[in-house]
Amino acid sequence: MRKRTKITFIISGICVGIIIGLVVAARFDFPGHPIGALDTAYDISGASFEHSVEAVARAVGPAVVSISTERTEKKLVPRMRRYNFGGPFEDDFFRKFFEDFFGELPERKYKQSGLGSGVLIDKQGYILTNEHVVGEADKITVTLPDAREFKAEVKGKDKRSDLAVIKIQGADFPAAKLGDSDSLSIGQWVVAIGNPFGFALHNPEPTVTSGVVSALHRSLGRITSGDRDYGDLIQTDAAINPGNSGGPLVNLKGEVVGINVAIFSTSGGYQGIGFAVPINSAKRIVSNLIEGKKIVYGWLGVTVQGLDEKLADYFGLPEKKGVLVAKVLADSPAQKSGIKEGDVLLKLDNLEINNVNALLKIVGNIEAGRKVRLELIRDKKPITLNAEIGARPENLEELDESGLEEEPSDYWRGLRVTEITPELAKRFGVSKQEGVIVVELKPESEADEAGLIQGDVILEINKNYIDSVSTYKNTIKELSGDVLVRTARGFFVLKEPPVK
């Protein structure tokens, strides 16, 4: 009996000890598992928000690095600045004389520095970052949060997606886990980690900011760079400051869901709007980047525009879904498949094309050579076409065509056009010289109400090609009712003038 009592007492003591231990652990917030082991994502959604952000910072922070770059640029040093004679000696003859006398102008090297962030995605030292952080660098230095420094080399980069992979030598580095950006929802909490001003503050430890996913599939178009396509971004109000570029956007499971790429502000500082490249876009190309392969995007060869209510009504569509083909490029997959200007694309291989960004994303993700099925509307009737996706060309610029000068037209539905002269092309920034250009526009006219502006280039009217003012005048003679006008910016519907 005494022996049984003793055993019971021991067991009770052990149980009490376990309970006390759990209470103490909870009180002092000891983690129940090694949070720093970055190979596994942690579901900490049940914890308080404060503890969740703290846990994410501890889990992913060790994998976030600072990136310092140097680029050397050579520029000519003008010798004439040493000989400021003034007056009549400052002309081309004397400038040429001194250049010939002293020989060729010397070159001076200028060093440009840059700062950014990155995230380790592999224990072997592969780091994912933005292309604009490392793309033009001659020297790249990576600093880990524990202050270790490494020289890095670029393994692969892709300017269009603004993504790059660099590598540091070593092994057993902390590595973050990549999540699924397609599962993100608006309002979901996210954490931005990076090293803004890290080198200026002489502190290699990353900073952490939190916020929500403000919007998905945002487009910055080609505002920041003509070569980069920011057409499918995550928008967040988590503070992203200069130097955060290339750092990860992380969900509360500790998974990387985006790569911070840009801020949008009037002052260059943080104003509550930041953007990140979805991690699924990176996952699609990261293996090719590591191998140094060129990233090839699918290409259809059309210029498209979204539908507004007037265009949807004109084409007999019940809603503003689909994209309108404004131009079919010569010898493109679209032309070979039979797509025509004025067609409305609705689906590609049963994937809905709700807007321009959707089409760009769908086509861009398709490998060149794959055959697809297109569903579209032509002349208000549904048809299907088969197309073979091509590889996006390096240069899509086309040759300009010059037209013959003619007198401006008379007003028609509130607009007046003329031939595109070199002077007008320069004035309005027109690169193409086909069609006719709008030089005058009456306020509150049919053309003004449709959205046409001065400088628009008219290419077609009711699918009749316009190559001169003469063709334009002949085309509009017999027109009545609503008219579809195709410009270099897209399609517009000009309403029939009211009877007076």
- Tell me the catalytic residues: 132, 162, 245
Q: How far is CA 215 from the centre of its chain?
A: 14
Structural tokens at position 426: 């320069």
Distance of CA 222 to CAs 7, 63, 303, 397, Å?
Answer: 76, 31, 15, 15
Bridge partner list, 275 = 235, 262
Q: How far apart are CA 186 and CA 196, in angstroms?
A: 26
Which SS3 state, helix, strand or coil, does residue 6 take?
Answer: helix
Distances (CA, A) of 472 to 186, 195, 417, 459, 461: 48, 58, 9, 9, 8
**Given its phi and psi angles, is residue 278 left (phi above 0), alpha (psi -120 to 50 degrees) or beta?**
beta
Please say whether the beta carbons of 289 and 164 come within 8 A: yes
Cα Rg, the chain, nearest whole Å? 31
Full DSSP string of 164-202: EEEEES-S----PEE--GGG--TT-EEEEEE-TTTTTTT
Strand partners, 310: none
C-alpha pair distances (Å), 426 with each of 137, 168, 429, 432? 35, 48, 5, 11
315 to 306, 344, 368, 432: CA distances (angstroms): 13, 8, 31, 27
Cβ atoms of residues 337 and 385 within 8 Å: yes
**In a 10 Å sphere around its CB, with 0-12 CB exposed, 13-18 middle and 19+ buried, how is residue 274 labelled?**
buried
